[in-house]
Amino acid sequence: MKALEGKLALITGSGRGIGKATALRLASDGCDIIVNYFRRRETAEQTAEEIRRLGVNATVIKANVGDVAKIEEMFDTIAESFGYLDIFVSNAASGVGRPIMDIDAKAWDWTIDINARAFLLCAQRAATLMEGRNGKIVAISSLGSTFVWPTYTIVGVSKAAVEALTRYLAIEFIPRGISVNAVSASAVETEALKFYIKEGLMKETSQLTPVGRMVTPQDVANVVAWLCSDQSYMVRGQTIVVDGGTSVSPWLSGDVAKGDG
């Protein structure tokens, strides 16, 4: 029997990128998946097809998690269709990259609502569906919560909120038997990243990573899967960093991996 057989996971923003890799990883452990997407139905449907090919069930639900009513609708659908949930991965994210003097209330609200408020509201609804099921909640964060990247201010702040919320949820959900943790990654090789940095910079980023390559969605998904397993039972409220060593040795480069360090 596979580790997550018979379990059901909701992964927000799982049509592509880290969310998709996580969905496929959990599916390979036997978990049924709810693919949530915002705007690209075709991509989400393709992901669902890939999931089904792994021998598990996949359901696609459209919802903008920045919209409270849409979150409610999504969880109402899950409650009616399944009546339970074992795993919730808060992955959907958006952001407006601007210098601080160009940030307005609208850009702030858009980013914080999708990245941080949605985590709280979804976790609340998920918790009620996890009763008696030893649920697992994992949030996807980013090193921008701790480190400063140009124009990343609002996203960085939203991720700091996600990590703080992870700690509070972890303790308050202990009586519910739910584990809550986060996974924080440095720049991950996804389509979303291409909006932020140019190709040359991608190469530079892999050279600056001590391990010698960029973090992939699969690297993140593997850690999420571990946090969704009982192997991580005593890990609570933590943010696990997946960055190939970048944050602990920012002065080293990928040359270390080649033995030139």
Partner 1 sequence: MSVEEQVRDIVSRIAHVDKSIITREATFKEMKADSLDIVQALVAVEETFDIEIPDEEAQKFRNFGDFVDFVEKEAAKKG
Q: Are 43 and 16 in contact (CB under 8 A)?
A: yes
How many residues sit close enough to partner 1 to count as binding (CB under 8 A)?
9
Contacts with partner 1, 169-208, as mask; x by CB under 8 A: ----------------------------------------
Is 136 a residue of the active site? no
Q: Does 106 bind partner 1 (CB under 8 A)?
A: yes
Neighbours of 238 (CB within 10 A): 18
Query: Is the CB of residue 37 less than 8 Å from the CB of residue 10?
Result: no
| Residue type at position 152 | Y
Q: Which among 84, 152, 198, 258 is annotated as catalytic?
A: 152
Among 107, 120, 235, 252, binds partner 1 (CB under 8 A): 107
- Interface with partner 1 in residues 22-51 (CB under 8 A): 39-42
- What is the closest distance, in whole angstroms, from the C-beta atom of residue 65 to partner 1 in the complex? 12
Check if the beta carbon of residue 144 is closer than 8 Å to that of residue 193: no
Min CB(110)–partner 1 separation in Å: 6
152 is catalytic: yes
| DSSP secondary structure letters along 13-65 | T-SSHHHHHHHHHHHHTT-EEEEEESS-HHHHHHHHHHHHTTTS-EEEEE--T
Applying CB under 8 A, the residues found at the interface with partner 1 are 39-42, 64, 96, 106-107, 110
